[in-house]
Each structure stands twice: as C-alpha cells, then as structure tokens.
Chains A and B, each alone.
Chain A
Amino acid sequence: MTTNSDLDQIVDQYLHRLEVALAVLPPQRRHQLIESITDHIREARVTLSADSEVAIRDILDRVGEPADIAAGALADDMTPAPPRSSGTRRLIVAGVAIVVVLLLVLLLVVGVVLVPRSNNNVSNTMAKVTTSTAASATRVVPNVVGLSLNSAETELEQVQFAFVVTFSCAGNQVTGVVTAQTPPPGSSATEGSRIQLNARANACP
C-alpha cells in the first residue's frame, strides 16, 4: 500500500532532481523557480479527489522533465544573444515571446480592478540589482517573524535573499503570518541564499 509519506517522497525526489538540474542558475533565481514549482505541485494535489501514486505521477508528468525546465531557464538566462544564432534558436525565441505575451494577456483579463501603482522605479532597480549578484557577498538576515508573507518577501528581496515557506495548519488563526525563520534574524548568510520560513495556513488540504 502507498502511504501519504510515500507520495511525499515521490514529490521530494522530483524536486531534488529539479534542484540538481537547475544548479547552474544564480541562487536567487533557482530558489524562486523551485518555490513556484513546489507551490504548483501542492495546488495540483489539493484539486485531487484522492491522493494516489498514479495521480501524483500524472501531476509530475504535466509539470515536465527537470531537464526541460532547466533548458528553458538557461536559454532565458543567456542575456546577450549568442554570436551564431541559428534559425531554430530564433524560432524558439519567437515561441517564448508569444508565451510571455499570453501570460500577460491572461493576467490582463483578471486584473481589471488593478489600482494604478507608481512603483515602476522600484521594480526596475530591483531587476538591476538582481543581475549583479555574481560576487556573493554576506548579508545580515532581517527579522521577518510576525510579518505578513507580503512584507516578509519585500524585506528579504531587498537584501537579495530567496525564501521557501512551510505552512502549518492553524484552525482559524490569522493566515499568512510568518511564525519562525531559519537562519535566525541578525545572523549572516550569503547573498541569494534561501531562508526557511514557517507560516500559518487557515486550512490544510
């Protein structure tokens, strides 16, 4: 019989393979990707009527081979165009551009009530800072315990840290508040490294 922890293990093995495949990416980008895909798998599992090995394998199949995801991320990371860009390469780039646009279109459709925001400068400078993480400096880990996930994220990204959140079920307690962090506030860690956060969720799958 396959138990729940066996299923978790299948997911963990997959995430481990993904981590290995993405090892060449800059740490912050790698951690963000792994975080998104971890969330994706968790959301996909929530929609299942019953957690079974077949269903989990199907979810992972749909997410795709770690090598393919890594290839996409790497092609994307080559900011200066390669000197000999072949016809196929150009085609792939065109395909990627269209998918990017479709993402924007999908977001436009739902984001009608978006309040105009004037934080363009912030996001631009953030993009610039992120590209210059080649030299891995040491930074002091800020205290984010007690903050909402949104504020914690802003704090951590300002000092170039990535993070991964583990949620615990907490009945009807306030949701999305950080309850613990590793490494602790005030300690130092390499730029781009991953801070482990614990937060409360209002319900559990």
Chain B
Amino acid sequence: MYGFELTRALSTAGGLVASEGTVYPLLTRIRHDGLVETFWEPSPQGPPRRYYRLTNDGRLALETFRIQWRQFRDTVDAIMKGSDE
C-alpha cells in the first residue's frame, strides 16, 4: 500500500485519527523502528509512489499485539459482564 492509500483507509475507518496528516508521524516512526520498510514503484497515473510493507519484525510485533489484545479484551469483557448483573 502507498501512503495515500493507507491514510485514507485509516481515516475513513472513522474516529481513530484526527486527520490524515497525523498518520505520517506514526508511519515514519515505525519505519525508523524497522517494523515497516518502503520501496518505490511506478504508478499508472503519475509519478512513482512510495509503498510500505511489513518487515519480519513488523509481523512479530503484530503477532505479539494480537495475543496481548485478546487477553486485554477478555479481561475487560469479564469485568463488564460482572457489572451488568
């Protein structure tokens, strides 16, 4: 995916980012952290584009987050359920 595509996808998902521009500081950070890398590809309708792709480190970070997120979600759900009754 290229930068424009990514930020549009995130900002239309709703409620998560203040504006499209605020996604770029995060993108440059995870690039510096080695979670994503970029490469240039020609575009059919204009100048070449900078594409982003996950590195192995990025996949690993995502896997770790998936596990942590499930635990977090289950804990919160269990507490919420308790307060419903």
Asked whether A8 is an interface residue with its Cβ less than 8 Å from the other chain, the reply is no
Q: Is residue A64 within 8 Å, beta carbon to beta carbon, of the partner chain? A: yes
Contact B48 A99 (CB under 8 A): no
Residue of B nearest to A102 (CB): B10
Determine if A37 and B24 form an interchain contact, defined as CB atoms under 8 angstroms apart: yes
User: In angstroms, how far is the closest chain A Cβ from the Cβ of B56?
Assistant: 6
Considering the complex, which residues of chain A in the window 89-142 have a beta carbon less than 8 Å from any beta carbon of chain B? 95-96, 98-108, 110-111, 114, 116-120, 123-124, 126-127, 130
| Interface residues in A, total, Cβ within 8 A | 62
Complex alpha-carbon distance, A100 and B36, angstroms = 11
Q: How far is the CA of A149 from the CA of B61 in the complex (A)?
A: 28
Pairwise interchain contact B16-A104, C-beta atoms closer than 8 A: no
> Using Cβ atoms and an 8 Å threshold, which residues of chain B touch A68?
18-19, 21-22
CB nearest neighbor in B for A40: B4
Q: Is the CB of B19 within 8 A of A62?
A: yes
Question: Which of under 10, 10 to 19, 20 to 34, or 35 or more describes the interface residues of B?
Answer: 35 or more
Query: Which residues does chain A contribute within 8 Å of B28, judged by CB atoms?
Result: 29, 32-33, 36, 73
Select one of A76, A104, A150 contacting B39, CB under 8 A.
Answer: A150
Give the contacting residue for A203; candidates B3, B17, B45, B58; CB below 8 A: B45
Separation of A66 and B42 alpha carbons in the complex (Å): 29
Consensus secondary structure, chain A interface: helix
Asked if B44 CB lies within 8 Å of chain A CBs, one says yes
- Contact residues in B for A107 (Cβ distance below 8 Å): 1, 6, 36, 52-54, 58
Query: Residue B19 contacts which of A64, A167, A201 (CB distance < 8 angstroms)?
Result: A64
A-B contact sample (19 more), CB < 8 A, given A62-B11, A124-B34, A167-B48: A32-B28, A33-B25, A42-B47, A46-B46, A64-B18, A73-B28, A95-B16, A99-B16, A100-B26, A102-B13, A106-B1, A108-B54, A108-B62, A120-B57, A148-B40, A201-B47, A202-B42, A203-B46, A205-B46
Tell me the A residues contacting B by CB distance below 8 Å: 29, 32-33, 36-37, 39-40, 42-44, 46, 61-66, 68-69, 72-73, 76, 95-96, 98-108, 110-111, 114, 116-120, 123-124, 126-127, 130, 148-150, 153, 165, 167, 175-176, 199, 201-205
Return 9 A-B CB contacts under 8 Å, by A number.
A29-B28, A33-B24, A72-B18, A99-B17, A107-B52, A119-B37, A150-B39, A176-B42, A201-B48
- Counting from the closest, the 4 A-B pairs by CB-CB distance are A64-B19, A123-B34, A43-B4, A167-B47
